[in-house]
Structure 1
Amino acid sequence: MSRKGVPRAKARPGSDRTPRAVSIGAVQQEKKPRREFTPSEPDSKLVILFSRVDVGGPWCLTEISQSDHAGLLGRIRDIESMTVHSVFSGNGLGKDYPLPLPNDQANGRLSELEYDDRDEINCLRITGERRLYGFREGPRFYALWWDPHHKIWPSRKKHT
């Protein structure tokens, strides 16, 4: 026993050194993340992904203004703190639209991108007329188009 009451480890055979005592607090516990990045529950937070974004069409995100970009990022941050159900529950924030779209140019672009075999497209209202279109699969929203003037699925209402 050591002076502090902690048993000493036994020396290895053939070793002339006495092993040091190891305190219990020195053993590092396995780290666990405080937050998960991959939602798996039906009531998971909505995650917005950009792996399917259209970078060559008329609603390309590379054409976004600096002020719209800042607004989009802020809105995405807010939306990703919400569950899928709360975003798409009829509060006007998220909508599901049946395909084909009322905009022939958008339908043509969906065909070019080979997304015309889907039943619906989804939309997130960013602010006023500004919309982010994409496809929802479970808790994931794959962004496709940036529509700053509400042309893909026009509304009869005036937006502020």
Structure 2
Amino acid sequence: MGNVKNNRKQVPSAAVPAEPSRVPRRLQGVAVPGQMDEQHPMWRTALLDRDHDGAWSWKITDVTLVKIVEFLSEMERLTWREIRQQQTGGKRRRGPKHKSIPRGHLCKEAQDRLVALQLDDFDELFRFRTGNMERLWGVLSSDSPRIFYPIWWDPDHKVCPGKDD
């Protein structure tokens, strides 16, 4: 697989759309949930934002990295339907544990960072809730809808601190 130079990073050419149309610059859109319901997720790390130095960053400890890998390994055993059906909260405030969040609901720093990463044309990001405050943020590719591209590890719930997250 060849690489395409994109700003400072090498991005696998498979992650870049072959023909530009009204799709995100770095991937081809957000997946439609029905297309992937019965598929098991896969992970690609081409879009990790390891350079961000702000309210959150990808600077994680070995222990945290093991936690993330174990979490993703658990999720691989499930279908996307099973992942989306997981619930969190008590009887009064129950909601989806893992879900898509509209880009406009993210904090300004996250929205600005998406512009810098040329990922601002995604209408929504998908986030995994891995703990009380911890979130793993990324995007889903429509050309292979089961693939999740993590972008940010958010240990303190700062990317989208609102009540809808």
TM-score when normalising by structure 2: 0.64
Question: Which residue identity lines up with residue 82 of structure 1 in the other structure?
Answer: L
Q: Secondary structure at the match of 2:85?
A: coil
Residues 44-76 of structure 1: CA deviation (Å, up to 9, x unaligned) = 101122111111113442x01222112111111
The match for 1:52 is 47
The match for 1:89 is 85
Question: Which residue identity lines up with residue 45 of structure 1 in the other structure?
Answer: H
Does 2:70 correspond to 1:74? Answer: yes
Aligned length: 117
TM-score when normalising by structure 1: 0.66
Kindly report which structure 2 residues correspond to 1:3-14, keeping only aligned pairs within 5 A, or say none.
none
Structure 1: gaps of 5 or more residues: 1-39
Identical residues among aligned pairs (%): 24
| Structure 1 residue 135: Cα displacement | 0.3
The match for 1:141 is 148
Higher relative contact order (CA 8 A, sep 6+): 2
The 2-side partners of 1:41 and 1:105 are apart by: 30
Kindly report which structure 2 residues correspond to 1:1-160, keeping only aligned pairs within 5 A, or say none.
42-58=37-53, 59-61=56-58, 63-89=59-85, 91=87, 92-137=96-141, 138-156=145-163
Residues 117-155 of structure 1: CA deviation (Å, up to 9, x unaligned) = 111011011122111100012111111001000100115
Q: Secondary structure at the match of 2:104?
A: coil
The 1-side partners of 2:68 and 2:113 are apart by: 23
* Shift in alpha-carbon separation, 1:83–1:145, aligned structure 2, 3 A: same
Residues 73-92 of structure 1: CA deviation (Å, up to 9, x unaligned) = 11111011111111123523
| Structure 1 residue 41: Cα displacement | 6.5
RMSD, aligned α-carbons: 2.1
| Structure 1 residue 93: Cα displacement | 3.3
The match for 1:24 is none
Structure 2: gaps of 5 or more residues: 1-34, 88-95
The 2-side partners of 1:55 and 1:101 are apart by: 22
| Structure 1 residue 156: Cα displacement | 4.5
**Runs (4+) of structure 1 moved beyond 6 Å?**
none
- Whether the 8 Å CA contact 2:47–2:149 is kept in 1: the answer is yes
